[in-house]
Homo-oligomer: A and B are copies of this chain.
Amino acid sequence: MKSQRKFATEHLRFAILAVDIALMTVRDGALMIRLTPVNRPPHFPNSKGLPGGLIEPSETAEEAALRLIRDRATICSKHIYFEQLYTFSELNRDPRGRVVAVAYLAVLPWEDLAKEDQEDTNKGWWVTIPEATKLAYDHDLITAVAVQRLRSRARYTTILRHLMPTEFTLSELETVYESILKTDLDKRNFRKKLLKLKAVIPLGRKKKHGAHRPAELYRFAGTKVEEIEII
């Protein structure tokens, strides 16, 4: 309660504004989310949560989110996708006092991460979605909303261009779709559809990776996220 008085939001009509970021990528076909250490006794000692921080008076929520992403993970990806997710204003989401969080969904290809951001450090690490539980604050909820949003975007748009490397095989792409949508897709129908929609373009080059037939490499058509219906 002492720490709660610190912000005195009960007396002023002000709120502390924070951003929290659900930063996601796909590694080996599995959806991963970025966690950082949280150490806020007594409620969250030695805990973990989503990257985030306070919004400065001189910046918009979006600018704060971008700053914090670059802060906590030395990320400088051209291919990062970024959208506002939801604003969380439950009174007790932060036990220290009234903190309202504007949450963002950000996704980027694993291959775009610097070496030090791929490995676990004391600044942060990547976990699969089922592992991202018992997070500090309401970050379990934010994670759930983010996964839901990403799933919905994956179904109706080409957002996966931001989760794939520039060049990929259709099997790799299918695996990522299956991982995010939690469903099995028919290989032939999946390929037929993407090619008919001209969502992907064959590069005329092959990827060899193992004792089997090499796979054609593809890239996404166009340059931005477009509306298409995948399944």
Taking the complex as formed, is A10 at the interface, i.e. its CB lies under 8 A from any CB of chain B? yes
Size range of the chain A interface in the assembly:
20 to 34
Q: In the complex the two chains form, is A91's CB within 8 Å of B13's CB?
A: no
Distance in angstroms between the alpha carbons of A86 and B102 in the assembled complex:
9
Q: Contacts A9-B57, A60-B91 known; A17 to B86 CB distance under 8 Å?
A: no
Name the prevailing secondary structure of the A interface residues: loop
Distance in angstroms between the alpha carbons of A29 and B87 in the assembled complex:
33
Distance in angstroms between the alpha carbons of A10 and B58 in the assembled complex:
7
Least distance between A34 CB and chain B CB atoms (Å): 22
Q: In the complex the two chains form, is B56's CB within 8 Å of A90's CB?
A: no
Taking the complex as formed, is A121 at the interface, i.e. its CB lies under 8 A from any CB of chain B? no
Residues of B within 8 A of A58 (CB): 10, 91
Cβ < 8 Å to B, chain A residues 11-30: 11-17
Q: Which of B10, B17, B89 contacts A15 (CB 8 A)?
A: B17
Q: In the complex the two chains form, is B54's CB within 8 Å of A17's CB?
A: no
Distance in angstroms between the alpha carbons of A116 and B84 in the assembled complex:
37
Ranked 4 nearest A-B pairs via Cβ: A14-B14, A61-B89, A87-B87, A60-B89
